[in-house]
Amino acid sequence: MFEGNMETKTTYNPRSPAVKRLMREAVELREPAEEYYVQPLEDNLFEWHFTIHGPPSTEFEGGIYHGRIVLPSEYPMKPPNIIILTPNGRFETNKNICLSISGHHPETWQPSWSIRTALLALIAFMPTPGNGMIGALDYTVEERKALARRSHSWQCPVCGNISNLFRKRSKSSLCIDESMMNKIVNKDEIREKTGREELEGQTDAQNSELKKSKDSSELKEAVEAGQESNQSRHVVEDSLKVK
Amino acid sequence: MSKKQLSAVFVKMGDKVPTTKYDPNVNQDELIMKQQRLIEKEIMDSIPLVGDKEDFSSLEGEYDGDDIYKQKVKNLAKNYKYIRRTRPDGNCFFRAFSYAYLEKLIDDREEFNRFRELAAKSKENLVALGFPQFTVEDFHDTFMEVIDQVGKHHSVLSPGAPAGEDLHKVFNDQGNSDYVVVYLRLITSGQLQRDSSFYQHFIEGARSVEDFCHQEVEPMYKESDHIHIIALSTALGVGVRVRYMDRGDSAEVIAHDFPEGSLPQVHLLYRPGHYDILYPH
C-alpha cells in the first residue's frame, strides 16, 4: 500500500474509457470557476472533492460548501454520486444527494453530461424547495443564513480549510457561468443583469451569449429530467423560459 | 500489494457509495442499489455483450414443445444460417446493429470509406445541434478508434489477429462497447431532432421530440423501438432488415426494412424486448 503516488497513478488502465474521460475532465476543470472548484483526489481518480459558492441573492449567498463526488467504475454510463459535507440546511450532509443528475436516478442520467453539469445542477437546486425528497432539508432562511456564515470555518479532513481553495484564482472580468446561474435561479436578478451585460464589449457579449445558450440547454435537460417534485420543477422551468 | 491488486481496490472505491470514512450509516437506497447491481451482475456473468456465431439449430433447441415458435424458426432457417446473440441490457439494438455493420465493413472497403467519412463529420453536426462539445468529442474519439480498427485490416500489410477477432474483443470490452452505444444514441437523437416535424407523428402522448430523446434515446439501457431504428438507419444510410418473431398466427416471420425500401446490410432478429444478429445464407 505504501508505494507512493507516482506508483499508484500508473495502475489505472489508460485504455479504459472511464479513466480517459475522468482525466479529460480533470484537465478541463483544473482552474477554479467563479462558483465551483472541483478536482480528483491525488490518489483516487474516482473520488473528487468540490467546493461551491452559495447562489447569489439566496439565503446561501456568501456560503461556501464542500463535498465529494464518487464516480462508479461504469462512469460516464452511470451517474456520479454527490455527497455534500458542509452543513447547509438544504441537503443532508454525508448522504447521497437525490437529484435527477445523481446516483439516485441512473434511469435519467445521460452519458453526455459531466461532473461540471452535475455541479451546476446542484447549485441550481440549492434554492428550490426540498419537498420531502430523500436527503432534503427544509431549514428556515435564518438557519440557512447562519450556516452560510459558519461554512467559512468548516474544514475538510482531506482538503483542509475550504475557504482557501477559491483564492488561488485571479479574478476575471466577466463570469459567464455566474450570469447563466442567475438566469436559472432567480428571475428578478435577470432584469438587473441584462442591463449590466449590455455594457460589456461586443465580442465578449457575443461569446458569452453563445456559451450561455449551450450551457443552459445542457443544464435545462439535467434539471428537468426525472425531477419528481412538480413544484421545484416549475420554479426552475419558469426561470429558464426567460432568456 | 501488487499494482494489479491496488488498481482493483481503486475501482472498488469508485464503486462504493459512499465510503465508510464519511458515512457510517447504512441507508435503504444503498441496499436497493446493491440488489440491482446483483441482478445486473448475474446477467453480466452469464451472457457476453456479444456472443459467438451459433448455428441456427441452437435457436430451434430453445423452443422444444412450443409449436408456434418452432414453425417460425424453421421458416426463418430457410433464409438464415447463423445467429449471434447479444446481452439483453436495453442496449441490444445499438450493439447488435453496430457489430453486424462493422463486421460487414471488414470485407467492403468502398462502403467502409463512405461510412468513415460520414462518421468523421457526424461530431460537428451534433455540436451544431447543441450537444455539449466536450463530452461528444470524448465519445466520438472512441467511436472513430473502433472504426479505424476495422479499417486497418484493409491494408495488406496489417499484422495481427483476423479482423473479426479484433472486433469481437472490442465489443466485449464493456468500456469501448458502451462508448459505441452512447455515440449511436447521440446520432439517433440528433436525427430525431433535426427532422422533428416528421418524427413527431411517431411519438405517443404529448411528449415533444426533444423530451422523447432525453427520456428514451440518450440514456443508456433504454430499449429501442421502430422510431429509433428508422432514425439511426436514416442518419447513417445503412439499411436494416428486422425479422419480427412473436406469438402471432402467421407461420412467416415478418420482415421490416428500415429505412423503407432500402437494401438491407444488417439483419436482426427481434423477439419481444430483444434484438440478436442474423446471418443470411
Percent of chain A whose predicted confidence (pLDDT) is above 70: 61
Nearest to A214 among B29, B132, B178 (CB): B132
Chain B interface, best mutation among A110, A113, A117, A228, by max B CB count within 10 A:
A110
Residues B29 and B76 in one domain: no
Closest chain A residue by Cα to residue B15: A72
Between the alpha carbon of residue A180 and those of residues A175, A212, B135, B231, the distances in Å are 9, 6, 20, 33
State the pairing for strand pair A155-156/A160-161: antiparallel
The DSSP call for residue A151 is G
Mean pLDDT over the full length of chain B: 87
pLDDT of residue B42: 80
Mean per-residue pLDDT, B62-79 = 90
Number of domains in chain B: 2
State the pairing for strand pair A44-53/A81-84: unpaired
pLDDT digits 0-9 by tens, A179-205:
333 333 333 333 333 333 333 444 444
Cross-strand partners of B280? B80
Residues B188 and B259 in one domain: yes
pLDDT digits 0-9 by tens, B263-280:
999 999 999 999 999 999
Q: CA B271 to CA B72: how far, in whole Å?
A: 12
Percent of chain B whose predicted confidence (pLDDT) is above 70: 87
Mean per-residue pLDDT, B8-21 = 38
Q: Is A159 a catalytic residue?
A: no
CATH 3.60.70.12 holds for A17-186+207-242: no
Between the alpha carbon of residue A223 and those of residues A219, A226, A233, B92, B217, the distances in Å are 6, 8, 8, 28, 17
pLDDT of residue B276: 97
Nearest to A44 among B10, B18, B182 (CB): B10
The answer to whether the CB of A84 falls within 8 A of the CB of B54 is no
Among the residue ranges A39-48, A92-101, A228-237, B167-176, the one predicted with the least confidence is A228-237
Q: Where are the domains of chain A?
A: 17-186+207-242
Q: CA B13 to CA B5: how far, in whole Å?
A: 12
Residues B134 and B206 in one domain: yes
Between the alpha carbon of residue A16 and those of residues A5, A23, A76, B83, B107, the distances in Å are 20, 11, 11, 29, 28
Residues B143 and B226 in one domain: yes
pLDDT of residue A169: 45
Among the residue ranges A152-166, A217-231, B116-130, the one predicted with the least confidence is A217-231
Residues B64 and B194 in one domain: yes
pLDDT digits 0-9 by tens, A222-241:
555 444 333 333 333 333 33
Rounded to 5 degrees, what are φ and ψ at A99? -135, 160
Mean per-residue pLDDT, A158-170 = 71
Residues B16 and B72 in one domain: no
Q: CA A100 to CA A79: how far, in whole Å?
A: 9
Q: CA B132 to CA A178: how far, in whole Å?
A: 19
Would you call A108 and B219 a contact, using CB atoms and an 8 Å cutoff?
yes
The answer to whether the CB of B259 falls within 8 A of the CB of B239 is yes
Contacts of B29 in chain A (CB under 8 A): 96, 104, 134
**Is residue B19 over pLDDT 50?**
no
Residues B135 and B244 in one domain: yes
The alpha-carbon gap from B74 to the nearest alpha carbon of chain A, in Å, equals: 38
More confident residue, B192 or A192: B192
Closest chain B residue by Cα to residue A48: B14
Contacts of B132 in chain A (CB under 8 A): 112-114, 117, 214, 218
Angle at alpha carbon of residue B246, lines to B244 and B250, rounded to 5°:
90
Mean per-residue pLDDT, A35-56 = 94
More confident residue, B134 or B250: B134
Structural domain that includes position B8: 3-46
The alpha-carbon gap from B254 to the nearest alpha carbon of chain A, in Å, equals: 32
Mean pLDDT over the full length of chain A: 72
Percent of chain B whose predicted confidence (pLDDT) is above 90: 68
CATH code for the domain in which residue B234 is found = 1.20.1300.20
State the pairing for strand pair B254-258/B239-244: antiparallel
Would you call A114 and B135 a contact, using CB atoms and an 8 Å cutoff?
yes
Q: Is B201 a catalytic residue?
A: no
pLDDT of residue A103: 61
pLDDT of residue B25: 53
**Is residue B256 over pLDDT 80?**
yes
pLDDT of residue B187: 98
How does residue A166 score in pLDDT terms, banded at 50, 70 and 90? confident
